[in-house]
Chains A and B, each alone.
Chain A
Amino acid sequence: MRFSDTLNQSYTAIKTQPVRVLLIVLAMSIGIASVTVLTALGESARLYIVNEFQALGTHLVIVLPGRTETTGGQPPIFGETPTDLTLADANALLRSRHIAAIAPINVGAAPVSTRGLERETTIIGSTADLRQVRHLSLAQGRFLPASDSNETLSVCVIGRTIKDELFANQQALGQWLRINDRRFRVIGVLASEGQSIGVDFDDMVIIPVAAAQTLFNTQSLFRILVEAKSKTAMYKAVDEIRAIIKARHDGEDDITLITQDSVVKTFDDILTALTLTVASIASISLAVAGILVMNVMWVSVTQRTSEIGLLKALGATPRQLLWLFLTEAAMLSVAGALSGLLLGKLALVVLQTIYPDFPLYLPAWAVAAALAVALLTALIFGVLPARQAAKMDPVAALSKR
């Protein structure tokens, strides 16, 4: 039997039962639509977050003092105190050929005031390189000057919120700002960044790192942000940073290195798992649709018993009958899947109109998977009724009217 004939025969058989077809197509399309919409939502969330991270640069290495490890043993326990990271450590890293920029970071909270207005805010001590490393942009003025990081220049760059709160309708550039008991001249205002992975750059004052160390009376750094020259250079940079710091800390390997891409990967993994979970839950509706396909095919086989007997008498082999009924089930499912995809697409378009800011995106693999699953369900659930048709006793089938 030719394939085109099989299709044609199945099609004419389906055509005689429009209500049944409508029911299957409806059930199947609801299943497929829910799978595609949920997959699209999950996938879009993943892309949104991954992009957010990648905007920070994927070549970023974060150097933290101390190391995650278990120390000690028999009591009394002598825990190790990690050696502090210092500015000298940070400067030493410049020796590595693979590093493009280094931003030592010192963080503290302090009251900021000007002309009677005061506000408790986060103070970040860093260098000119911070701008490059965190991809900061300025609304007015300029960033910290590129000078020796040991110099305690009395200048600061303020975030958007600070500017609005303390210099409401006035020019902020060139004004003096008092942080604790020291005065800093405002030389730049950051463009509004919004939340950037938990750090609110809008509500922040950036001062030179040496000034921050004096302000908070400390020699140690909170962390060092390092930007490698490229993705491949990043791994070499990690090794070199470890070697350089180890040499400076009396052979003690007491820092923790976090690469930006490992953070991205973690989020990526979590959200992919989430997407798959949600899609699996939605695919329960596909299984239900599959059972409906099976039901309809049972009815179809039972109703056409005498026709099956006749086909056997005319020389249809069991395999041909199996394929005839499987093709019927597959056609119904594919019709359902296609209308489901259409329905899903429609839902996405509606969602996109309601939430224009959220980038909605239906990945091609989800479309392919939905079609494949629909076809598979049809074949799995269609096979039992089709086998019944194929195995029917022709004499008994023919005598049924």
Chain B
Amino acid sequence: MIQLEHIHRYFQVGEQSIHALNDINLTIKQGEYVSIMGPSGSGKSTLLNVIALLDQPSSGRYLLNGQDVTQLNDEQLARVRRENIGFVFQFFHLIPRLSAAENIEMPMVLAGIAAKERKQRVAEVLKAVSLADRSDHRPDQLSGGQMQRVAIARAMIMRPGLLLADEPTGNLDSQSGREIIELLESLNQQQDMTLLMITHDKSIGQRAERCIRIIDGQVS
């Protein structure tokens, strides 16, 4: 599903050039559960951004579902992202003025799906993350765990093949953190979504079938 070949990424910070990703070669198959670990500044977030199509590699080839995505323009990238990738962030990134249901609905609004179908799918997903009774609550009326579950519901609403989670438990207490991990894992197992998770927490990282360590921009 994901095929990275000789990926390099340089950043220019002032006079200095930082080599954030150094010749990354990585293949991830459909349905895999992969965790990415490494100290801060090691380049794991950059790797995730490249995989997420939010950042373009300086050189190298990236095939997503067999399509070379390094050649696409911004409009095309946005469309590929919309259809294939779901995001879960450390800081939830919910839009504060919208209710839980409206936040979950957002990717479908951008995709131009009819309101009737949106409503139905939102209801299903809300049930799946056991927040059916919170659909009209705004983010500031929800707990951290609930907000992350809304974010997960939003990530899975387009039924993407790839679920990217950037420290999904980083801002949660251990109890709700564990619930979130279990929810993500169940999505990976029951719906055959590829799950790619960045984490600091060893105990979480080692639950994955495959654990990738990144140090100084290289897979070790």
Are B112 and A316 neighbours in the complex by a CB distance under 8 Å? no
**Contact A315-B97, Cβ < 8 Å, known A1-B112, A2-B112, A9-B109:** no
Which residues of chain A from 262 to 281 have any CB-CB distance to chain B below 8 Å in the complex? Answer: none
Complex CA distance for A316 and B109, rounded to whole angstroms:
9
Are A315 and B112 neighbours in the complex by a CB distance under 8 Å? no
Smallest CB gap from B78: residue in A: A317
Contacts of B91 in A (CB 8 A): 401
Smallest CB gap from B151: residue in A: A310
Are B54 and A313 neighbours in the complex by a CB distance under 8 Å? yes
B124 at the interface (CB under 8 A from A): no
Are B78 and A318 neighbours in the complex by a CB distance under 8 Å? yes
Contacts of B79 in A (CB 8 A): 315, 317
Contacts of B132 in A (CB 8 A): none
Are B75 and A315 neighbours in the complex by a CB distance under 8 Å? no
Complex CA distance for A315 and B75, rounded to whole angstroms:
9
Task: Annotate A281-316 by CB proximity to B: 1 below 8 A, 0 otherwise.
Answer: 000000000000000000000000011011111111
Are B97 and A12 neighbours in the complex by a CB distance under 8 Å? yes
Complex CA distance for A10 and B206, rounded to whole angstroms:
44
Complex CA distance for A315 and B95, rounded to whole angstroms:
15
In the assembled complex, the CB of A308 is this many whole angstroms from the nearest CB of chain B, namely 11
In the assembled complex, the CB of B103 is this many whole angstroms from the nearest CB of chain A, namely 10
Are B109 and A310 neighbours in the complex by a CB distance under 8 Å? no
B13 at the interface (CB under 8 A from A): no
Which residues of chain A from 307 to 336 have any CB-CB distance to chain B below 8 Å in the complex? Answer: 307, 309-320
Complex CA distance for A396 and B96, rounded to whole angstroms:
20
Contacts of A307 in B (CB 8 A): 95
Task: Annotate B50-68 by CB proximity to A: 1 below 8 A, 0 otherwise.
Answer: 0010110000000000000
| Cβ-Cβ contact count across A and B, 8 Å cutoff | 68
Contacts of B54 in A (CB 8 A): 312-313, 394-395, 398
Smallest CB gap from A15: residue in B: B97
Smallest CB gap from A6: residue in B: B109
Are A318 and B93 neighbours in the complex by a CB distance under 8 Å? no
Are B87 and A316 neighbours in the complex by a CB distance under 8 Å? no
Complex CA distance for A13 and B91, rounded to whole angstroms:
21
B213 at the interface (CB under 8 A from A): no
Smallest CB gap from A2: residue in B: B112
Which residues of chain B from 107 to 150 have any CB-CB distance to chain A below 8 Å in the complex? Answer: 107, 109-112, 114-115
Complex CA distance for A13 and B97, rounded to whole angstroms:
8
Contacts of B97 in A (CB 8 A): 12-13, 15-16
Which residues of chain A from 188 to 219 have any CB-CB distance to chain B below 8 Å in the complex? Answer: none
In the assembled complex, the CB of B44 is this many whole angstroms from the nearest CB of chain A, namely 14
B33 at the interface (CB under 8 A from A): no
Are A314 and B89 neighbours in the complex by a CB distance under 8 Å? no
Complex CA distance for A394 and B106, rounded to whole angstroms:
17
Contacts of A2 in B (CB 8 A): 109, 112, 114
In the assembled complex, the CB of B154 is this many whole angstroms from the nearest CB of chain A, namely 7
Are B95 and A316 neighbours in the complex by a CB distance under 8 Å? no
Are A315 and B109 neighbours in the complex by a CB distance under 8 Å? no
A69 at the interface (CB under 8 A from B): no
* Interface residues on chain A, size class: 20 to 34
Contacts of A320 in B (CB 8 A): 78, 110
Task: Annotate A1-25 by CB proximity to B: 1 below 8 A, 0 otherwise.
Answer: 1100100010011011000000000
Which residues of chain B from 19 to 53 have any CB-CB distance to chain A below 8 Å in the complex? Answer: 49, 52
Smallest CB gap from A307: residue in B: B95
Complex CA distance for A312 and B154, rounded to whole angstroms:
14
In the assembled complex, the CB of A390 is this many whole angstroms from the nearest CB of chain B, namely 9
Complex CA distance for A1 and B111, rounded to whole angstroms:
6
**Contact A315-B49, Cβ < 8 Å, known A16-B97, A394-B54:** no
Contacts of A398 in B (CB 8 A): 54, 89, 93
Which residues of chain B from 61 to 83 have any CB-CB distance to chain A below 8 Å in the complex? Answer: 74-75, 78-79, 81-83
Which listed residue (B78, B83, B158) contacts A312, Cβ 8 A?
B78
In the assembled complex, the CB of B75 is this many whole angstroms from the nearest CB of chain A, namely 5
Q: For A5, A13, A306, which residue has the most chain B Cβ atoms within 10 angstroms?
A: A5
Smallest CB gap from B89: residue in A: A398
Q: For A315, A316, A320, A401, which residue has the most chain B Cβ atoms within 10 angstroms?
A: A315
Complex CA distance for A315 and B158, rounded to whole angstroms:
11
Are A314 and B98 neighbours in the complex by a CB distance under 8 Å? no
Are B82 and A315 neighbours in the complex by a CB distance under 8 Å? yes
Complex CA distance for A2 and B83, rounded to whole angstroms:
17
Complex CA distance for A310 and B95, rounded to whole angstroms:
9
In the assembled complex, the CB of B153 is this many whole angstroms from the nearest CB of chain A, namely 13
Could you list 8 further interchain pairs (A-B, Cβ under 8 angstroms) beyond the known A2-B109, A310-B93?
A: A1-B109, A307-B95, A314-B82, A314-B154, A316-B110, A317-B78, A394-B54, A395-B49
Which of A's residues lie within 8 Å of B, judged by CB? 1-2, 5, 9, 12-13, 15-16, 306-307, 309-320, 394-395, 398, 401
A to B CB contacts below 8 Å, 17 in the list: A1-B109, A1-B112, A2-B109, A2-B112, A2-B114, A310-B93, A313-B81, A313-B87, A314-B154, A315-B82, A315-B110, A315-B158, A317-B74, A318-B78, A319-B75, A394-B55, A395-B55
Q: Which 3 A-B pairs have the closest CB atoms?
A: A315-B82, A317-B78, A394-B54
